[in-house]
Amino acid sequence: MSTKYRKILITGASKGIGRQLALDYGKQGVSLWLLARSEPLLESLASEITALGGEAHLLICDATNETEFLATLQKAQESSTGLDLVIANAGWGGKMSYPGDKNISVFNQVLDLNFRAAVQTLEFFAKFMVEARHGHLVGVSSIAGFRGLPSSAAYSATKAALTTYLESLRFSMKPFGVKVTDIRPGFIRTPMTARNAIPMPFLMDVDVATRKIRRALERRRKRFTFPWQMAVLIHLVKALPDFLFDGIVNLAFGDMAVKGRPGKTKENLPG
Ligand SMILES: NC(=O)c1ccc[n+]([C@@H]2O[C@H](COP(=O)([O-])OP(=O)(O)OC[C@H]3O[C@@H](n4cnc5c(N)ncnc54)[C@H](OP(=O)(O)O)[C@@H]3O)[C@@H](O)[C@H]2O)c1
């Protein structure tokens, strides 16, 4: 699949979905601005991209440190002189349990990364894209944003917020010809899900997932929920009346909703 994009920024590019997207686009000779905290991971990714014929600019930065983050985005704007595609992808689950004395701090970290940093990324580049009347802004939310899933209070809430923000942003960008896409993955095989000790229906390999994401972006989709089996399931779950949703969740996942999902961590450490 060929691409129209020549200059792309991806946050959360050192692992998982972001890393695979970078490799896919790198193969097509695209110039990439890749942001994450882990310098060794980004450096080895840059070598792979260069060998594939792409060009990688590394942005080593913690997206939850607002001052450092905005300065890094400014650097990317200056060195790129304008991007075609910006993908706000960095995200984290966060483990909350009850009773729990770390819940507020975990929630703040999840909020800062999944919502605040994603919005800052998109708003920062929106102003340049609006002036240029060109560009595509993308947020990676999740099927977890469709309902408040058990043991996912922070994650579900921040992904729902991101989805709502992207929907609203779309209307503001339309007069300027700037596209907005909400990517809503189900379970994808990445370091994030490798830690999961729960059933993950329709788990998809990351290279298959990024091929689908790229196709959705080339088609300028407003939103893209996948795999399709998970899209069907999550729309059915969303339509369930509360008494049924609560009954099923309490029965199947009540314990996990209190103790927290096994495999999730209370710290988000760079790899
Ligand atoms: N995998 C799934 O099944 C799935 C499903 C639905 C939605 N999603 C969403 O898809 C996105 C990517 O998920 P993934 O599975 O690829 O996750 P992942 O494998 O855990 O990768 C997360 C990326 O985010 C970066 N990151 C984490 N904290 C950061 C911070 N404070 N500042 C800058 N970068 C940070 C990580 O790099 P460093 O550690 O080097 O900073 C890494 O590159 C996330 O938004 C996730 O919520 C994933």
Task: Decide if 243 is inside a domain.
Answer: yes
Binned at pLDDT 50, 70 and 90, residue 266 comes out as confident
pLDDT value, residue 198: 87
Tell which residue, 85, 128, 123, 119, has the closest CA to residue 217.
85
Alpha-carbon span 32 to 191, nearest angstrom: 22
Helix (H, G, I), strand (E, B) or coil at 88: strand
Point out the catalytic residue in the list 5, 25, 155, 165: 155
Task: Decide if 30 is inside a domain.
Answer: yes
Task: Decide if 271 is inside a domain.
Answer: no
pLDDT value, residue 263: 81
Give the Cβ contact number of residue 40 at 10 Å. 10
98 annotated active-site: no
What are the tokens at 1? 């699949």
Residue 37 CA to ligand 1 centre (angstroms):
11
Over residues 37-86, the pLDDT tens digits come to 999 999 999 999 999 999 999 999 999 999 999 999 999 999 999 999 99
Residue 112 CA to ligand 1 centre (angstroms):
13
Over residues 7-27, the pLDDT tens digits come to 999 999 999 999 999 999 999
Task: Decide if 157 is inside a domain.
Answer: yes
Ligand 1 pocket test: pick from 17, 158, 207 the residue with the most ligand atoms within 8 Å of its Cβ: 17
pLDDT value, residue 265: 87
DSSP label of 143: G
Task: Decide if 2 is inside a domain.
Answer: no
Residue 170 CA to ligand 1 centre (angstroms):
23
Domain, as residue range, for 147: 7-259
Write the residue with the smallest CA distance to atom 44 of ligand 1. Answer: 91
| Mean pLDDT for all residues in the chain | 97
What residues have CB less than 8 Å from 217, skipping those under 6 apart? Answer: 5, 85, 136, 138, 181
What are the tokens at 231? 């899209």
Domain total in the chain: 1
Ligand 1 atom closest to the Cα of residue 93 is 47
pLDDT value, residue 262: 85
What is the C-alpha R_g of the chain? Answer: 18
Residue 230 CA to ligand 1 centre (angstroms):
20
Write the residue with the smallest CA distance to atom 7 of ligand 1. Answer: 142
Mean pLDDT over 105-110 rounds to: 97
Q: Is the pLDDT of residue 181 over 90?
A: yes
Task: Decide if 270 is inside a domain.
Answer: no
pLDDT value, residue 171: 98
Phi then psi for 113, rounded to 5 degrees? -85, -55
Alpha-carbon span 85 to 5, nearest angstrom: 7
pLDDT value, residue 257: 95
Ligand 1 pocket test: pick from 92, 109, 208 the residue with the most ligand atoms within 8 Å of its Cβ: 92
Task: Decide if 1 is inside a domain.
Answer: no
Task: Decide if 85 is inside a domain.
Answer: yes
User: For residue 91, what is the domain's CATH number?
Assistant: 3.40.50.720
